[in-house]
Each structure stands twice: as structure tokens, then as C-alpha cells.
Amino acid sequence: MARLRVLLIGEEAAAMQTLRMLARSPHEVVAVMTQGLGGLSAGATVAGVASQLGYRLWPARQAKEKGVAETVRREGVDLLLNVHSLYVLPAEVVGAPRVGSFNLHPGPLPGYAGLNAPSWAIYHGERRHAVTVHWMDGGIDTGPIAYQAGLAIEPDDTGLTVSAKCVRAGLRLLHELLEAAAKDTFPRRPHPDGARRYHGREVPHGGWILWTQSAARVVNFIRACDYLPLTSPWGHPRVCLGGREMSVLTATRTGEPSNAQAGTVGWRVRGEAFVAARDEWVRVRRVQIGSSTCAAADVLRPGDRFSMPAPTEELSHAIS
């Protein structure tokens, strides 16, 4: 098996696990490009893991600086791996490694290009999802597919659990890629038929819960935002009661039809409060006010009604 010289550009747990996988492989890590190079907490960040393993660290911003493509060529990089880094690399950098540049994307392409694919998949009610390793070509998630693995989204999955599934499946795909690249075999196939859907940093309806939507859509949104105990890229889903803003952290469907006005609190049981969506009662379990979290029944009373936020173009579109 050929020994490859690998440049890793990455963030988050996926990049940390990729580093540990590379350390167990016969391949050589040329350098690691990542953010947060100040204050290296051993093992707690990509920079910390890289430092622990003795790898050179380059600041992530360097990926977009003039001359970095020449540096990649001069260092003899065979393979560039982009793992959960949000930097859009210039075409000349992507084309600099001898073998090529590959991106680990936590979603199926072309339908879930861009950011936060696991959350969008839950929000849209998907039952199946995928993780993709694709060739980089200077665009955003536009290059040919090398490997893809499907995974199930269960009714109790959250943004965090689906993301974790993507990381586990993605590491297996990166391992396949390294084995194939070492044998000079490079899978490459076009994106399957289907509309390309790109998501940026936007959050559905500005991060507000719209109780006028179906219970399925309300609960899907809450699940999609749930990365506890980690920070959610979408923040916590917001509601407004009596002029006071709070967040709903966890909620589930009940299957019980509701004729009450959407957003009305019905009754409370064992710390939970039941709130009417358009078609069904939703069981709300935990809420947050400021920095304090508590059981929903501690702050919600029967007859309370959540008010709608001020109309915006995004909200008007969601309501319609």
C-alpha cells in the first residue's frame, strides 16, 4: 500500500476522529489546518489533538491566502481532506494535491448541499439520510461523488444524534477513500438525478415555533434544533408568552387531535405541558428562560397562549 501525504482541513469531532484514524494508518499527515490555535486544550479541540499527535498546525485562514496552493505542491501533498471546515477553498488549492481534494459532507447530494444538513433533513420529515465523500472542485458540494452511505432517521432522533450517525458513517467512508487512493483507484460518479437544494446559515421561520403548523412540523423543528448538551447551530426554538420570550428544548407528538386555537396550553401532567398545534396536541417537556431550564409545567398554565412573533417575509412564507 502506498504511503500518502495528507493535508487535513477540519473542525469539530469529525475532524478529531479523522486525525486519530490517520494516526493509526500508514499515511503521513503533512499538516492540520484548523481554527482556534491559541490555548490548545489537549484532546478537546482539533488543534489540541493535532498537537498531542505531534502534527504541524496551520491556521485555517491560510487556506484562502495567496500562495497556499504552491505550498501544498511544495509539501508534496497527495490528498487533501476537508472535514467539517466551513472554508470555501479556491479552485487552485483544490487542484494542488497530486491525487485530489475530498470533502466529507453530512448529507446526500444534490438534495442537501450546504450547511446543517442533518437538521434540515429532520425538519423536512425525512426517514432516510446519507453522508457523502465527494471530490472538491471549487464549488460548494458540487464535485463528483466518491462514496456515499445511507442511514435511517428514527422518530426520536435529534440534530445531535443524526450528526453523530453521519460522523460514524463518514469515518468509514474516509477509511475506504484512503485505501482506494493508496491503490491509485479513485471512484468518481456524477450526482444522481434530482433538484439541487442548497441551505446556508438561515434557520426555518427565523427560529420561531409556528404553532399554526402541523404537530409533525412543530416537533420536527424542535428535534432538528436539539443538540443538547452541545450548542445548536440553529439555537433553541423560540416562543413568546405574555411578552416574555422563552425556548422549547424538548417536545414530542401525542397523536391526540386538537380543536383548540393553535398555541394554547391545554393541561399539565407530571411536569409536562400540552400545547395545541394546528391539528394535534404537542407534549412540551423542557423549556428555557434566559439561562435557566425547567419543566414546562413549572411555567406554563392551562389557558396560556403563545403569541406569534412580528411578521417577516420568512414567517409569512412559512405560514402560507
pLDDT of res. 292: 94
pTM for the whole thing? Answer: 0.91
Asked if pLDDT for residue 63 goes beyond 50, the answer is yes
pLDDT of res. 170: 97
Domain span(s) for CATH 3.10.25.10 in the chain = 205-319
pLDDT of res. 2: 75
Q: What is the mean pLDDT of the chain?
A: 91
Q: Which residues have C-beta within 8 Å of that of residue 149, sequence separation ≥ 6?
A: 130, 131, 169, 170, 172, 173
Asked if pLDDT for residue 121 goes beyond 90, the answer is yes
Instruction: Find out if CATH 3.40.50.1000 is the number for domain 5-198.
Output: no
pLDDT of res. 1: 55
pLDDT of res. 320: 38
Grade residue 86 by pLDDT with cuts at 50, 70 and 90: confident
| Digit-coded pLDDT (tens) for 265-315 | 999 999 999 999 999 999 999 999 999 999 999 999 999 999 876 655 455
Asked if pLDDT for residue 39 goes beyond 70, the answer is no
Average pLDDT over residues 216-241: 96
Task: Give the domain 205-319 fold.
Answer: Methionyl-tRNA Fmet Formyltransferase; Chain A, domain 2 (3.10.25)
pLDDT of res. 256: 97
d(CA 299, CA 279): 24
| Span of 23-27, 33-37, 246-250 with lowest mean pLDDT | 33-37
d(CA 4, CA 32): 15
Query: Are the CB atoms for 302 and 281 separated by under 8 Å?
Result: no
| Digit-coded pLDDT (tens) for 144-194 | 999 999 999 999 999 999 999 999 999 999 999 998 987 888 899 999 888
Domain span(s) for CATH 3.40.50.170 in the chain = 5-198
d(CA 136, CA 259): 51
d(CA 16, CA 167): 11
d(CA 293, CA 130): 33
Burial letters for 178-187: b for 16+ Cβ neighbours within 10 Å, e otherwise? Answer: beebbeeeee
Average pLDDT over residues 243-258: 95
Average pLDDT over residues 34-62: 81
How many CB atoms sit inside 10 A of residue 60's CB?
21
